């Protein structure tokens, strides 16, 4: 089964967006709303177990005595904070606060040059992808992707497989034709449940996590890659094609 597409996760995989991007913007939103809440680096790491910024806010409010009591009021506040956070995040990104992780530019360019399709399957909001990819890859970035599935398309957040299933459908390929790039246990679970073999490049918040069931593992895309007992010196299209084919026939 030849490799026909790479499906990229965004947060943590394309760039370390969480600690210096989303977390900072959440704190700025709390401040803008006159709330005393602040998420420090360690607490945000715990909150990342909850996928989706809106869902993360609702989860955190459960432990806050000064959060609104009625659920409808809590949801309204979480929605407003989340929208504000996303605007502030876009400003941070546009200002250059976030850089791509090592090897991301190179691998995306290789895919374009060698005709390997690419897609995005993410739990983050579309505006965040738009802001980040425009800053990192330029205004024409969308042309390089056969599908871009975001939170608005896949309301069932990872570890639910919905984003991957939609991306496969839009690409018109089966799970075994694709390879997912992920950084987190929730992301690995989402891709795996969809049946997509997954290369994990753990982000800073998930360096100590367990990634049982992944097909491949690497510190970053420039580093050595271990793939079901085989290896490659770095992640490139030719090594991914070779390892994917070997994995599929094993």
Q: Which residues bind ligand XBP (CB under 6 A)?
A: 9-12, 18, 22, 51-53, 82, 86, 122-125, 128, 151, 158, 184, 186-187
9 as an active site residue: the answer is yes
Question: Closest CB to ligand XBP among 18 and 177?
Answer: 18
Among Mg ion, ligand XBP, none, what does residue 52 contact (CB within 5–8 Å per kind)?
Answer: ligand XBP
User: Which residue in this structure is represented by tokens 């593992």?
Assistant: 217
Choose which of 5, 6, 8, 9 interacts with Mg ion (CB under 5 A): 9
Long-range contacts of residues 159-163, Cβ cutoff 8 Å, at least 24 apart? 159/51, 159/185, 159/186, 159/187, 159/189, 159/190, 159/193, 160/190, 160/193, 161/190, 161/191, 161/193, 161/194, 162/190, 163/121, 163/122, 163/123, 163/190
Does residue 202 touch Mg ion according to CB under 5 A? no
Among 9, 60, 177, 183, which one carries the catalytic annotation? 9
Question: Closest CB to Mg ion among 60 and 182?
Answer: 182
Question: Closest CB to ligand XBP among 11 and 60?
Answer: 11
11 as an active site residue: the answer is yes
- 230-232 and 225-227 strand pairing: antiparallel
Does residue 16 touch Mg ion according to CB under 5 A? no
Does residue 12 touch Mg ion according to CB under 5 A? yes
Smallest distance from Mg ion to CB 15, Å: 10
Residue 60's alpha-carbon distances to 38, 66, 141, 167, 192, in angstroms, are: 11, 11, 34, 30, 28
């Amino acid at each position: 089964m030849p490799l026909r597409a790479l499906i990229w996760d965004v947060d943590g995989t394309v760039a370390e967006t969480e600690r210096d991007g989303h977390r900072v913007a959440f704190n700025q939103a709390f401040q803008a709303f006159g709330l005393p809440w602040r998420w420090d680096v360690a607490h945000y790491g715990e909150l990342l177990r909850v996928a989706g910024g809106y869902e993360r806010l609702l989860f955190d409010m459960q432990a806050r005595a000064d959060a609104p009591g009625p659920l409808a009021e809590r949801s309204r506040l979480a929605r407003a904070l989340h929208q504000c956070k996303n605007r502030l995040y876009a400003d941070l990104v546009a200002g250059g606060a976030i850089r791509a992780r090592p090897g991301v530019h190179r691998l995306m360019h290789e895919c374009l040059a060698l005709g390997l399709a690419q897609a995005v399957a993410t739990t983050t909001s579309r505006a965040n992808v738009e802001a980040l990819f425009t800053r990192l890859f330029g205004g024409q970035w969308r042309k390089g992707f056969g599908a871009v599935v975001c939170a608005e398309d896949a309301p069932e957040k990872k570890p639910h497989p919905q984003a991957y299933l939609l991306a496969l459908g839009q690409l018109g390929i089966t799970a075994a034709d694709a390879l997912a790039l992920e950084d987190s246990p929730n992301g690995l679970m989402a891709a795996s449940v969809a049946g997509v073999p997954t290369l994990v490049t753990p982000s800073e918040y998930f360096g100590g996590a367990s990634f049982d069931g992944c097909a491949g593992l690497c510190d970053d895309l420039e580093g050595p890659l271990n793939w079901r007992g085989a290896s490659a010196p770095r992640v490139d299209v030719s090594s991914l094609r070779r390892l994917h084919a070997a994995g599929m026939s094993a």
